[in-house]
Amino acid sequence: MATTTDCTTLTTARLADADWSRFCREAEALAAEIAAQHPHLSPREAGDIAAEHVEARYAAELERQAETVAAPAPKRARDPRSAEERAADKARVQLAEGARVVFDGAAALVSSASRAGVVHRVEAGSCTCEAGQAGRACWHVAAVALTPRPAPAGAAINVRRIAARIAELRAARAHMLAA
């Protein structure tokens, strides 16, 4: 015995239009099953029972969807490292990827990683980048701290002079001990 359900009368389920046809198909299929199992029910009664079951299932589904939408997105775990540690890690990565640090007297010039041709000036622990101007830790300052300064011109001569002086002092000491 075929049973049809009048889906237009089932308005209590707040379903999206896309779900409406699926709702009707499920209710009609369930109504046919109920009518086959319970021949004493009229087609209208089997359809109403089926619609109630399917509607309850859809209402529960809608509530779950609403809870999912209403639930705030999980917050990203806060990095336990300090801003300076994070800046130092970024500086290591940027230096490994080819960022350049050029020393200019007391200051240093550091190429920007995000903007080609832009150079930031680091001097006395402060930087001209946006983060540095806002008083936040930046990787440019960390890169300067991580990069060894080149030896000043004439440093090799100073080393030779110091080595010669040490040799003189050793000779003088040996002469004093011998006497």
Local confidence pLDDT in tens for the 179 residues of the chain: 444 445 544 444 445 555 667 777 888 887 888 888 888 878 888 788 878 877 877 777 777 777 766 667 677 777 778 888 999 999 999 988 888 898 888 889 998 878 878 889 999 889 999 998 999 999 999 999 999 887 766 555 566 777 788 888 888 888 888 87
165 in a domain, yes or no? Answer: no
Report the pLDDT value the prediction gives residue 90, as an integer from 0 to 100.
92
User: What is the chain's length?
Assistant: 179
Q: 50 and 95 share a domain?
A: no
Tally of domains in the chain: 2
d(CA 164, CA 158): 10
Q: 62 and 99 share a domain?
A: no
Q: 87 and 140 share a domain?
A: yes
Q: 66 and 92 share a domain?
A: no
User: Tokens 């080819």 belong to which residue?
Assistant: 98
Query: What pairing do the DSSP bridges indicate for beta strands 119-123 and 126-127?
Result: antiparallel
Which among 70, 103, 118 is the end of a domain?
70
59 in a domain, yes or no? Answer: yes
30 in a domain, yes or no? Answer: yes
23 in a domain, yes or no? Answer: yes
Q: 11 and 60 share a domain?
A: yes
Q: 56 and 93 share a domain?
A: no
Q: 87 and 129 share a domain?
A: yes
d(CA 57, CA 53): 6
Please report, as a single letter, which amino acid is at residue 32. Answer: A
Q: Which domain, by its residues, includes 43?
A: 7-70
C-alpha distances in Å from residue 149, one per residue of 3, 65, 103, 146: 88, 60, 7, 9
Q: 139 and 89 share a domain?
A: yes
167 in a domain, yes or no? Answer: no
Q: 88 and 122 share a domain?
A: yes
